[in-house]
Structure 1
Amino acid sequence: MTVGVLLVDDEQLIRAGLRAIIASEPDLAVLGEASDGAEVPGLVSRLRPDVVLMDVRMPSVDGIRATAHLMSTMDTPPKVIVVTTFENDDYVYDALLAGASGFLLKRARPEEIVAAVRTVAAGESLLFPAAIRRLAEQRSRGAGGDALAKAGLTEREQEVLRLMAAGLSNVEIAGKLFLGVQTVKTHVGNVLGKLGARDRTQAVVKAYDSGFVTPTG
């Protein structure tokens, strides 16, 4: 099965580089390109890509607004990976909160870009705990540990969310809490549902954004 990719970046040279990387893989295909986020909704509706590689900073409609629009208006939006020049780009945090499944640096190696596209296309998320923690530290709102109380997370689900934020996999969480892997998967699913998060990355960002999880602990 071929994974369709839409490239969105205001720099033609960046798009050309990404196109060359994606097109070299037999299971990946570039379906189209856009130079601004304003073009994204129409192209996504017409081309139906599985993954959008989205520049986070664009002059007219940036990657945050374009991502939020896709997530709020489509029943089955594509997976979005935001692409940025700087790892500490505050825009990345907002894009993840809006529903992006992860982010890549523009200097990422070709194999990292290809692996990222395959990962999110398979329904997984690109979770970089240390990087997200640094981004959250810049944005810390100090909302307090009970900021997600309205979500109604059980005590066990709160434990699972904290371990997700630490970057643990389901298998690692199961070992840490002495639970079965399937039980952990159920807890993770419940956490995502209660937080209204599309994947683990968005759940973790929401946990930081609310103050439930803090960069220092």
Structure 2
Amino acid sequence: MEKIHILIADDMEAHRRRLERIINSVDNLFLVASAKSGYEAVAFAAIKKPDIVLMDIEMESQMAGIKAASEIHKILPDTKIIMLTVHQDNNIVFAAFQTGIVDYLIKSALKEEIIEAIYSAANNQSPIRPIIAQKIRQEFARIKKSEDQLTHFFKIVANLTQSELEVLKLLCSGLKRKDIAEIRAVEVETIKKQISSLLKKFDKSNTKEIITEVNELKLFELIGEIS
């Protein structure tokens, strides 16, 4: 069988040695270099041009492996990168896959699983592992929930009167009821009634909750852009 050239990148010697033993135990797997940092990984990859990189995430910095993977793909787009890490955080997993990695294994994975992952990557057959599939489903569910919340929010905004919208804008700019009443040239009681209506429509218990949501979604910046 044709040799598969492999680069290891891990800042912990024990992990590097384990991976080296695994690679050296298989006839057609060939270790081209062993890097201790993301910087070394990119440099060794550029020189050795490996088929596969087994990359740790946290080395000289928390996301060093992810940054290194991104750089390697820029110079060697055909090189397959497998992340071997202790991290299972959703944000880190998705950040890793956004760099173009093909697989994501936990460092405690069995020798056989690591070898299988190398062969699968070399043959462009890397699987979507159950842990990754679960995280993808969770991310889609989160996005769907966020979209539903956004739709609900703008339905409420669409049902505000022009006066309520103006009062809401002034509230979000940090003004008090009395100041808003002076600007609007109305009684404070009128402003209180409009705020009460806003609380009811947004189904919130206080104006701070509405202001936080409106400012997070940058509603009035958006209105300013389209008006």
Matched, 1:11 2:47: no
* Paired residue type of 1:66: A
Report the equivalent of 2:135. Answer: 134
**SS class of match (2:105):** strand
Contact in 1 for aligned 2:8/2:53 (Cα 8 Å): yes
Give the equivalent residue in structure 1 for 2:67: 65
- Worse-superposed segment, 54-63 or 116-125: 54-63
TM-score with structure 2 setting the length: 0.57
Q: Which amino acid aligns with 2:97?
A: L
Q: What runs of 5+ residues in structure 1 fail to find an aligned partner?
A: 146-217
Please tell me whether Structure 1 or Structure 2 has the larger radius of gyration of its CA atoms: 2
CA shift, 1:144, in A, is 5.2
Alignment of 1:109-124 (within 5 A): 109-124=110-125
State the shift of 1:92 in Å.
Answer: 2.4
Which structure is higher in RCO with an 8 Å CA cutoff and minimum separation 6? Answer: 1
Q: Which runs of 5+ in 2 are unaligned?
A: 149-227
Judging by fraction of residues, say which structure has more helix: 2
Contact 1:84 1:92 in 2 (8 A): no
Change (3 A) 1:41 1:130: closer
Contact 1:38 1:66 survives alignment (8 Å)? yes
How far did residue 86 of structure 1 move? 3.6
CA distance in 2, matches of 1:9, 1:130: 22
Please identify runs of 4+ aligned residues in structure 1 that moved more than 6 A: none
CA contact (8 A) 1:8 1:53 kept: yes
How many angstroms apart in 2 are the aligned matches of 1:13 and 1:130? Answer: 25
Classify 1:104/1:2 alpha carbon distance in 2 versus 1 (closer, same or farther; 3 Å): same
Could you tell me which residue of structure 1 aligns to residue 82 of structure 2? 81
* CA separation of 1:57 and 1:28: change in aligned 2, threshold 3 A: same
Aligned to 2:98, the other structure's residue is in SS state helix
AA in 2 matched with 1:69: E
Contact 2:46–2:72 at 8 Å: present in 1 too?
Answer: no
Which secondary structure does the structure 2 equivalent of 1:98 belong to?
coil
Q: Distance in 2 between matches of 1:39 and 1:86?
A: 21
C-alpha distance 89-29 of structure 1, shift in aligned 2 (>3 A): farther
Q: Which residues in structure 2 correspond to 1:31-110 (within 5 Å)?
A: 31-60=32-61, 62-74=64-76, 76-88=77-89, 90-110=91-111
- Does the aligned pair in 2 maintain the 1:82–1:104 contact within 8 Å? yes
> Displacement, 1:29?
1.2
Tell whether the 8 Å contact from 2:90 to 2:135 is kept in structure 1 after alignment.
Answer: no
* Aligned equivalent of 1:25: 26
Shift of 1:21: 0.7
* In structure 2, C-alpha distance between the alignment counterparts of 1:68 and 1:50, rounded to whole Å: 16
For 2:137 and 2:43, locate their aligned partners in 1 and report how far apart those are by CA, in whole Å: 32
Cα distance per residue 1:115-162 (max 9 Å; x no partner): 1001101122231144333266268344759xxxxxxxxxxxxxxxxx
Q: Separation in 2 of the partners of 1:34 and 1:16?
A: 11
Deviation at 1:7, TM superposition (A): 0.3
Contact 1:56 1:92 in 2 (8 A): no
